[in-house]
């Protein structure tokens, strides 16, 4: 998934493109996932996200990941931003979508993906912001609050 290369004497981490979704259901609740993140040694509260599979377009990947992780599907989708995670050392790009009016359904998480789903009424988001550590999640929720 990640490759460390040295180009012109500089260490660069190559990373596959990713997608993330600010997912809002028909009851105006935003769905977040809390999961163990080995890289940071603890659980992190994030918007649903994942990596593009070979041949996938970002929107297609975002819809697949959201449905697998949460069961949510349908609704209206817009690309809200195209983010660079940390351009000082990695080329990872995250296509950030806003999906509203989503319908519930059955989820199908990857083996070993231990996800806790957290539903937050849109009106409660401002109070949640100080707890958010994940950069894409903070940017995505702030963009949603400006809509």
Using CB under 8 A as the binding rule, whether residue 95 contacts a copy of itself is answered as: no
Q: Per the residue annotation, which of 68, 76, 79, 111 is the catalytic one?
A: 111
Query: Rounded CA gap, 108 and 106, in Å?
Result: 7
Per residue in 95-121, is it b (16+ CB within 10 Å) or e — as a string? Answer: bbbbbbebeeeeeeeeeeeebeeeebe
Length of the chain: 147
Is there a contact between 27 and 103 (Cβ–Cβ < 8 Å)? no
Residue 13 vs 122, nearer CB to a copy of itself = 13
Least CB distance to a copy of itself at residue 26 (A): 26
CA neighbor of 121 nearest in space, from 19, 1, 27, 20: 27
Using CB under 8 A as the binding rule, whether residue 128 contacts a copy of itself is answered as: no
Using CB under 8 A as the binding rule, whether residue 6 contacts a copy of itself is answered as: no
From the list 60-68, 69-77, 102-110, 136-144, the region that binds a copy of itself by CB under 8 A is 136-144
- Identify any residues that bridge with 3 across adjacent strands, giving them in sequence order: 14
Q: Which residues bind a copy of itself (CB under 8 A)?
A: 1-2, 4, 7-8, 10-13, 15, 18, 37-41, 44, 46, 49, 81-94, 130, 132-136, 138-139, 142-143, 145-146
């Amino acid at each position: 998934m990640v490759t460390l290369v040295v180009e012109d004497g500089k260490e660069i981490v190559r990373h596959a493109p990713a997608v993330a979704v600010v997912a809002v259901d028909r009851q105006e609740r935003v769905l977040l996932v809390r999961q163990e993140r080995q890289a940071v040694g603890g659980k992190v509260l994030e918007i649903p996200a994942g990596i593009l599979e070979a041949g996938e377009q970002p929107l297609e990947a975002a819809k697949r990941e959201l449905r697998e992780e949460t069961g949510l599907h349908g609704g209206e989708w817009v690309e809200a931003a195209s983010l660079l995670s940390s351009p000082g050392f990695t080329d990872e790009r995250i296509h950030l979508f806003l999906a509203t009016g989503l319908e519930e359904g059955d989820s199908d998480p990857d083996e070993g993906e231990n996800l806790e789903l957290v539903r937050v009424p849109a009106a409660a988001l401002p109070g949640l912001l100080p707890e958010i550590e994940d950069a894409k999640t903070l940017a995505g929720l702030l963009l949603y609050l400006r809509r």
